[in-house]
Amino acid sequence: MYSDEVLDHFHQPRNVGEIDEPTAVAEASNPVCGDAMKLWILVRDGRVSQATFKVQGCVPAVACGSWLTEAIKGKPVAELEAISAEQIEAGLGGLPAASRHASMLAITALRAAFNRLC
């Protein structure tokens, strides 16, 4: 049902936790399924130097948060706006149609954090 990448990020999530003095913190939730994600971003010299997350949700929600934090580390802040839910899904080897809400949850958290950075 889930790709190897989704299961890897779920069983061994990267960057879980909080950042003590983040540049931006954002939260997103899906009222339909109840999933919630919080994203912390630390920016140094115009680039994401650290990104962490916490999530309460399904297997794909954990995987999407993990993949996203890995993908944005080292990126210039200006490039964050271009990241899409489709990129997250592709990076995870795809998501079942019923689980695509998880990539949108991660993107919503990222957009909220980006708005706080700009």
Is residue 59 classed exposed, middle or buried when 0-12, 13-18 and 19+ CB atoms within 10 A define those classes?
middle
Asked whether residue 118 carries a pLDDT value surpassing 90, the answer given is: no
Rounded to the nearest angstrom, the gap between the alpha carbon of residue 19 and the centroid of all alpha carbons in its chain is 15
- The tens digit of pLDDT for each residue in 44-59 reads 999 999 999 999 999 9
Q: What is the mean pLDDT of the chain?
A: 96
Per-residue pLDDT at 12:
98
